[in-house]
Structure formats: C-alpha cells, structure tokens
C-alpha cells in the first residue's frame, strides 16, 4: 500500500511556526514527564503539579498541531470512491467534505466558548493556573483548524473548471 510522499516542513512562515511549536510541545511534554519520573522514583519527592502540567502541555500541543495537519493535508480520509470518479466530481465531493468539516468546527468553537468562560471561575489547585488554560485550546484549535480548512476548501475549488 502506497502511503504517498513523506510530508516535509511547511514552506510558509506561519506553517513553520506551528511546525516548530508542535515539536517544542512534544519535547516539553517529554521533559516534564521525565522530570516527574525522576523526582518520584529516584528522590521520592513527586511534584504536586505532576498531573496538571503534562495534561496542559499535551492538550495545547494537540490543538496547535491539528491545524498544521490540516494545512499539510495529513488528515485521514478514505478515498476508495473518490479515486474512481472524474476530477471535476472529485473536487466537488472534496469541497462538500470541506464544508461539512467547516460546519463541524464552527459548532465546536461555538460550544467551547461557554466552557472557556466557566474555566475562568476556578483555578487548578496544584499550579494556581486558571482552569481556562485546560479549556482554551479547544476554542483556539477550532478557530485555527477553521482557517486551515478554509485554505483547503479554496484549493479544492481552485481546480474546478467552469
């Protein structure tokens, strides 16, 4: 099975920034977890924030890398039927798919706003950070994914000849 070409780093500055930000979040997550493991098992002094900080770093990393995956067209999709139809119909189907994803992202964004607002009412006990830090990535990620999906929609529509 051919998985296609290996994706390379994005060629625009914004894409590169997200690329390196996603990589940095993975490095930070690994470093924090290694520190927690060493503190717990070698020094018998686990940090109080040992569960909250990795969770925050992981969630932010995921929601900042997802728009990059959309922009680089790395999202999963089944193309069994799309590969068998003519180019014009395929592009129409892709455009419809992009519109559905845009609608879903708009709903996710809209419904994440009350969660972020609710997060501002409390704080994490171990770090003192606002609970909104855990909920904000959903809204931020949905907005960034919406923009990336709009770019993909534009690319699909660009290839349609009238």
Domains in the chain: how many in total?
Answer: 1
Whether 27 maps to a domain, the answer reads yes
Indicate whether 118 belongs to any domain: yes
Does residue 136 have a pLDDT over 70? yes
Decide if 134 is inside a domain: yes
Identify the pLDDT of residue 139: 94
The answer to whether the beta carbons of residues 135 and 55 sit under 8 Å apart is no
Contacts by 157-161 with C-beta closer than 8 Å and gap 24+? 157/91, 157/95, 159/87, 159/91, 160/88, 160/91, 160/92, 160/95, 161/88
pLDDT in tens, 19-38: 888 889 999 999 999 999 99
Structural domain of 112: 13-158
Q: What is the pTM of this model?
A: 0.81
Asked whether residue 20 is domain-assigned, the answer is: yes
Residue 5 has pLDDT above 70, yes or no: no
**Residue 54: inside a domain, yes or no?**
yes
| pLDDT-wise least confident of 19-23, 72-76, 113-117 | 72-76
The answer to whether residue 4 is domain-embedded is no
Residue 5 located in a structural domain: no
CA pair distance 3, 59, nearest whole angstrom: 28
The reply to whether 114 falls in a domain is yes
């Amino acid at each position: 099975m051919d998985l296609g070409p290996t994706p390379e780093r994005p060629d625009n500055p914004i894409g590169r920034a997200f690329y390196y930000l996603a990589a940095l979040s993975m490095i930070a997550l690994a470093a924090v977890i290694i520190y927690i493991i060493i503190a717990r098992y070698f020094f018998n002094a686990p940090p109080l924030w040992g569960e909250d900080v990795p969770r925050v770093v992981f969630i932010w990393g995921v929601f900042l890398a997802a728009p990059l995956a959309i922009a680089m067209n790395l999202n999963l999709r089944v193309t069994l039927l799309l590969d068998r139809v003519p180019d014009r119909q395929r592009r129409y189907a892709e455009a419809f798919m992009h519109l559905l994803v845009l609608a879903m992202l708009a709903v996710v964004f809209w419904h994440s706003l009350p969660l972020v607002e609710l997060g501002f009412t409390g704080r994490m006990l171990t770090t003192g950070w606002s609970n909104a830090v855990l909920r904000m990535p959903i809204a931020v990620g949905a907005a960034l994914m919406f923009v990336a999906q709009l770019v993909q929609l534009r690319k699909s529509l660009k290839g349609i000849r009238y």
